[in-house]
Amino acid sequence: MPAISIDYNGVKFWKTTGDGYWRRKGRYLHREVYSGTYGNIPHGWHVHHIDNNRDNNRIDNLKAMPGREHNSRHTRTDGVDRAQYLIKPRSLICAQCGTEAIKRNTQARYCSPECRMRAGILRVQARKAEARR
């Protein structure tokens, strides 16, 4: 995965986990943006992305609310994070087979789990071939 960072006030934030949030050392970019404008976030409160797109950290897309209210917004009865379903799908060209696919995951690079697996296997084989030389 290419390392992509966002620069905010001279500090770099990274997407290190699959949940879509930008972080630096346990701090969240969207919370930094929010508190940078409105001041401290009350204890136990979360900052919500109004359009559910965690890449959109503009202040007008952020809204603070009690953590309990925030969690109930995101968690469906089956425990799946609702935001992942509300993000507008985008089209991508699979990095393995070149097929166009529609994905909601903005980090996705492959059309299918099979292609992701195949790409991983080829990378390992390439590394082994490299090591043999």
Rounded least distance, CB 112 to Zn ion, Å: 6
Task: Give backbone dihedrals phi and psi of 101, rounded to 5 degrees, phi first.
Answer: -140, 155
Q: Is 54 in the site for Zn ion (CB under 5 A)?
A: no
**Could you tell me the CA-to-CA distances from 21 to 6, 11, 133 in Å, in that order?**
11, 15, 40
User: Contact between 87 and Zn ion (CB under 5 A)?
Assistant: no
- Contact (CB, 8 A) for 63 and 31: no
- Residue number with CB closer to Zn ion (123 or 132): 123
Out of 65, 97, 108, 119, the only residue in the binding site for Zn ion (CB under 5 A) is 97
Residues from 99 through 128 that contact Zn ion (CB under 5 A): 99, 111, 115
User: For residues 6 and 130, which CB has a smaller minimum distance to Zn ion in the complex?
Assistant: 6
What are the backbone angles phi and psi of residue 109, rounded to the nearest 5°?
A: -125, -10
**Residues paired with 47 in a beta bridge:** 64
List contacts with Zn ion (CB under 5 A): 48, 94, 96-97, 99, 111, 115
